[in-house]
Chains A and B, each alone.
Chain A
Amino acid sequence: MIIMVTKDEIELVVARLRAMPDNALVSAGFGGVMNREQLIEHVKNANKDEVGRKVVEAHLNYIRSCGK
């Protein structure tokens, strides 16, 4: 079952990703290597983009783990 990502969750993750420097790169396997702006674009489309959805999941899982 795919859980829809909310607008607030997307905004939260985008805000966190803005901390990435210009020269940082993220590899998502077959999803390719992305810079900050490309990663943010994926996240903005998280409900129809697998990589974007996984980035949101990674951030939300981590944030929730901090509260445990």
Chain B
Amino acid sequence: MLITLPDSDLTTSYLSAWSEEIITIAEKNGIKSIPLRGHRATQSHVDKTIRSKNPSFLVFNGHGSDTSICGQNDKPLITLGENENLLDSKIVHAVSCNSAKKLGKECKAKVFVGYDSIFWLYMDGNKTSKPLKDMKVKPILESALEAPKQIVKRKTAGEAYEKSQEKYQKHINELTLSSSKHTAEELQVILPFLHWNKNCQILHGDPSARI
């Protein structure tokens, strides 16, 4: 597994901090990880690692667009029409705004799980120096990252996608059905973003693919 963990801004720092657990779960399941952290989350390192190590599972965290997935300092790692062939025959998971819209749909990955619109994060500004202690972001990132966690547990991409969707719904239900336990903030602001991310998560390709 190759996993990119950029940390050049608050959003990428959060995604990367919460994604470290994927590596732990992968190792427990006998899957070797190649993490590209911080300044190593660049196109040259991604290119070199895919060509030399041929990982079957690619996990991308970072900003994105309809046609690209970015790494450190928002520099593109994969761009449609330039080097999307690096995704050929791979299992790909990308928490990267919009990248499932065209890149994920048009590339030749075995399967691509990602987002076809904005991926929202809701954070506690008092916890930004310790992202893992930020419980406001937990419903969103726990739901999203359930998919790659399931893939490294050797579930199929389809099963992983369904588990992630279930996790989104579990958090939505917890916030909605026990509304008296939650603040107006949680009910009025977090829920719409959680609901949006759930609906924008999509799978392109073969749902039976697995590591």
A interface, CB within 8 angstroms of B: 16-17, 19-31, 33, 35, 51, 54, 57-59, 61-63, 65-66
Contacts and interface: CB of A to CB of B under 8 A. Distances in A.
B82 interface: no
B120 interface: yes
Given A23-B125, A24-B136, A54-B118, A29 B193 contact: no
Contacts of B121: 26-27
B54 interface: no
A19 B199 CA distance: 24
Contacts of A35: 125
B37 to A, nearest CB: 20
B10 A25 contact: yes
Of all A-B residue pairs in the complex, the 4 with the closest CB atoms, nearest first, are A29-B97, A23-B125, A27-B121, A62-B192
B63 A28 contact: no
Interface in B178-211: 183-185, 187-189, 191-193, 195-196, 199
B166 interface: no
A16 B188 contact: yes
Nearest to A66: B176
